[in-house]
Structure 1
Amino acid sequence: MKRFDLDYYITGLKSQNNVVLAQAITLVESKRKTDQEIADQLLNEIVKGSQPSIRIGITGTPGVGKSSFIEGFGSYLIDQGKKVAVLAIDPSSQKTGGSILGDKTRMETLSRNPQAYIRPSASGNTLGGVNNRTREAVLLCEAAGYDAIIVETVGVGQSETLVNNMVDFFLLMIQPGSGDDLQGIKKGIMEMAHGIVINKADGDQAKLAKQSKKDLLSALHLFAPSETGWSTQVELCSALEKTGFDLVWQMVQSFQSAMRSNSLFEKNRSSQNVSWFEDRANFGILQELVDQPKLSALQQELVLKVRQNEISVSKATEEMLSAVKELLT
């Protein structure tokens, strides 16, 4: 990757240059120490003048039509005068670490729109169906003038708390009559979702989708009231027939207005920043410890003993933590 100075990125983002935006995201994803130093400076500069935006996280079981929905919904938002950035996460291979990164081909129409930016990234080893630099990518997209940021996750079942902790509005997508799918979705994500969209509410499935909406609303009444006072809403949509996007957007806007009226919108973002700091700090501290020659050698030794059943996992952990405490004293 070609190296540029800090001014290059700041100027490019301010001028809403998508080439520079792509380079900036690549910069923050880089593991090179020199790149990380510039990336940290860049993020510190852009956070001071962050633009108003709405961050929307979208999750759902595979096959529910997330990409088709996002393409249609994104196009609808552009028609409403929004600039739309999509951060689409593809699952990484556990064997090779590679990823197909096919979201641009699945959102062909939206990717050609000059008011849209689509960035596919591999999830890597990060839980929650997101990339470990997704938060940084969101900030960079906002600095480049995008006021609607959509984060598409791999799917449900990993750690939706991580996704919810970086967006303003969390949307769960399901299919008509997906009772079996709902059984596999943890209650936590149902409570966490600010809105639920039943996609593919068209053709023969239209009637089934309406019944699914009634069933969902009945089930949601059994949940404890949200601390924010917001009640999860359910809407029907057909990405195929391009219907229901207006209802989904009204739902998002209603949520945003309700949260801003009692300052919960800003408080939520502040809490997310604190969580982000704690995550980065904890990871950095752990990395610094692991890089210590003495600890690294001990870790390799204990790994070998655990593999050969010469020591229990609990005992190995105890020895490792004792070495850490000794190093810190």
Structure 2
Amino acid sequence: MGEKDRRLVPPVSPMTARTVDATPRAPGLAYEAKWDGYRALLFARRDAPHLQSRRGTDLGPGFPDILRAAAGLGEEAVFDGELVVIEDGAVDFGALQSRAQRTGRRAEAAAAAHPAHFIAFDLLELGAESAGVTMNRPYRERRALLEEVFTRHDLQPPWALCPMTTDPDRAGEWLDPAWGRVGIEGMVVKGLGQPYRPGERGWRKLRARATAEAVVGAVTGPVTAPDVLLLGRHDDEGELRMVAQSAPVTTALRRELGRLLTPAGDDHPWTGARFRSGWGTRDILAHRCVTLDHVVEFEADVAFEAGRWRHPVQARRLRPEVPPEDVPRFPAGPAE
């Protein structure tokens, strides 16, 4: 925060949300579409525009198109929102990641080939009003100011305004996996009277969920008491492709799987393979291959990229009635 709390200075810790299992329903709530992109704060400053990640990283070098839009807004402001790249009518998370890794001429070339959008959903500072005053306004007033900015400047891409409703039934449509295919992965719920509190986990979020099946290809921990499952599907050439990593399984499922799983021989397709512990991480999992005899049903959100679920899935139960050859082929997604 700048002198006398008048001007925000990056990095700023954004307000965040805790996960809930059902749509909150009460008077005085607002529901925003939750996008599958990079959370970002955009500082619209004519001479020093800045794009900051949720954790404070400077994203500006990878997104010169967004910085130009911020510099050209015509008034100073700080926005909270989601950074996305849209290809063929859907969010392309892989293209977004690739852009974030480029700088200089390569970043400019990527911006021309894969334009980004900044989807604004909150306002932390506007014009001469001090940031402290703006953030202390209730959400309903900040949203009204945000909409006024879009109208006053007739903002066009790369700017976008996040959809919002006060109707929980309408917001519930965002939980349909069909929306997941275009990049909306659920909703964020805010109180209409809530101020913006940097770093506070004061909102609520609900991700769209869907069930799917895959073959257990490997595990972490002992085969007789597996901890995490590495799940696979065969592609059209018959190659087993990893599609998901589970969160640690329940005690009941661990015991059930431990009685059934069999260590695989050296002919297993994943023998010698290296799997990372999470999307975008460098840590390698120590896994044990098992024979491809068992299918599990899992629950996952709709963050799906290049045939694989990016976030850990929840293994729910064995599907002994489903033979491995009947599992959907790679790269079928959440609703296919």
Q: TM-score, normalised by structure 2?
A: 0.26
Q: TM-score, normalised by structure 1?
A: 0.26
Higher strand share: 2
